[in-house]
Structure 1
Amino acid sequence: MKIAAISDIHGNLAALDAVLADIARHGVDVTVNLGDIVSGHLQPRDTAARLMALDLPTIRGNHERQLLGDPQRMGVSDAYARAQLLPEQLAWITALPANLRLRHDVLLVHGTPASDLVYFLDTVTPQGSRAATLEEVVQRAGAAEAALILCGHTHMPRSITLPDGRLIVNPGSVGLQAYDDDHLYPHVMENGTPHARYAIVEDDAQGVWHVQFHQVEYDWETQARLALAHGRPDWVVPLRSGRVGVAI
């Protein structure tokens, strides 16, 4: 089985279209969407419309959960997306599962099997963020029974094979290549270039999964200008550079 995994689109329709076009050249069996789909000041309504029409296997991320929650506690990205979405799009988001089994040995999660907020393959410390250790990933994977676990949330393309053979893959972010956060401790997540990210995972004749990471060019300058026009100057540098707070 050949699976394309996309995640963390954040309403960036131009990046999504570029990624979908690239995926089409690889002859995959299925494309899966790992959540954080529309939140942000780009094109949430058009992004939701595109994905609803495609009807991909899709799970919700923490931002889908949050934009359906209490408006008084909602962040600006979620509030903007919620205000833009049509009733039928909100209903679609409401119906999305937190986790999904694509088949018996393939599990889709946003953060970890137990949480949509916990980083799976990265760890936040008082010194900032770093790649998670093997021991940390084993603990977070728990007893989840799947040869392949696909996750998102951190926007960082990573993979690790556990001692029991389970492969954990984060395809990175389609739509936003850098951000800062203060959950647990202040930290930044940066990919270093503005390219849209996704991954293709395929099992071989012995049933062993292998991953290839892809990065795709798209018109990130137009999207950066759109973010600025929609009131998010803090997204301009991340969209243009894949960095947080770097002057360009």
Structure 2
Amino acid sequence: MRIAVLSDVHGNALALEAVLADIGRQATDVICNLGDHFSGPVDPLGTAQLLRGFDAISILGNHDRYLLDEAPEDMSKVDRIAIEALRPCDLDWLRSLPETDVVGDVLYLCHGTPASDDTHWLQTKDADGRFFPTAPDVIASACEEIALPLICCGHSHVARAVKLENGHIVFNPGSVGRPAYTMADPTSIARLSPDAGYALVTQKGAEWDIELRQVPYDHMSAAQQARDHGAKTWAKNLEMGWQR
């Protein structure tokens, strides 16, 4: 069995196209999408047209919830860009999605943690807003009731896989459409890039292999689209592949 897991597209249709093309070459059985689909200053409508045109198990992210629940005047700038670009049918699609889901008896899907779509699970922010890896015992405490061998989450945009003492694996595929946040360990910057991230999960006998893939795409064009929407910080993030 082979499963592709992507997350946090954030309206970046150029990055999504590249990831879907790479997935198409991997002979996958299932595609899973962990949410935060449209919010972003690149191409929300183009992203909606792509996402609603392929077969995947998709769930809601926190920004998807903001698009459905908040008034436009209360939204962040990137959420307002998205809501102004999307069609009613795109919002109806979001409303149809669950907050969590499962793939058979193998994989549990959530956006943040099983209990919260806006909590970072595999990464923790320090007092300066930088990310550092969450300890395995803390990770395990958030999924004690989940018996499935694989658990995936998004939200932090930082790719990581952690094998727990019980043999279960919790992983984050990284972000398709926006780079990772600033890491507390400066040496980790070398491992970040502007490429689009996703995970390829392959069953090998009784074991599971988690490959955290990075796919090159025209990130400079995506950065220019963000700049055209007045989102200078996003543009810099897309150019560099990480945030200061």
Opposite residue 212 of structure 1, the aligned amino acid is: E
Select between 10-19 and 122-131 the one with higher mean Cα deviation.
Answer: 122-131
Aligned to 1:185: none
Opposite residue 53 of structure 2, the aligned amino acid is: A
Residue 46 (structure 2) pairs with residue 46 (structure 1) = yes
The alpha carbon displacement at 1:179 in A equals 4.4
Over residues 134-167 of structure 1, what are the superposed CA-to-partner deviations in whole Å (9 max), with x where a residue is unaligned? Answer: 1110112231221111111110010001111111
Alignment of 1:91-240 (within 5 A): 91-127=92-128, 128-179=130-181, 192-206=192-206, 208-240=207-239
Opposite residue 231 of structure 2, the aligned amino acid is: R
> Conserved in 1, the CA contact under 8 Å of 2:156 and 2:180?
no
For structure 1, the 5+ residue unaligned runs are: 181-188
Instruction: Write out the 4+ residue segments of structure 1 that deviate beyond 6 Å after TM superposition.
Output: none
Opposite residue 226 of structure 1, the aligned amino acid is: Q
Query: Matched residue pairs, number?
Result: 236
> What is the rounded CA distance, in whole Å, between the counterparts of 2:77 and 2:193 in structure 1?
25
Over residues 102-133 of structure 1, what are the superposed CA-to-partner deviations in whole Å (9 max), with x where a residue is unaligned? Answer: 11231111011111011111112225320111
For structure 2, the 5+ residue unaligned runs are: 183-187
> What is the rounded CA distance, in whole Å, between the counterparts of 1:111 and 1:176 in structure 2?
16
> Conserved in 2, the CA contact under 8 Å of 1:105 and 1:145?
no
> What is the rounded CA distance, in whole Å, between the counterparts of 1:81 and 1:149 in structure 2?
29
Residue 66 (structure 2) pairs with residue 78 (structure 1) = no
TM-score normalised by length of structure 1: 0.91
> What is the rounded CA distance, in whole Å, between the counterparts of 2:66 and 2:181 in structure 1?
18
> Conserved in 2, the CA contact under 8 Å of 1:5 and 1:200?
yes
> Conserved in 2, the CA contact under 8 Å of 1:178 and 1:239?
no
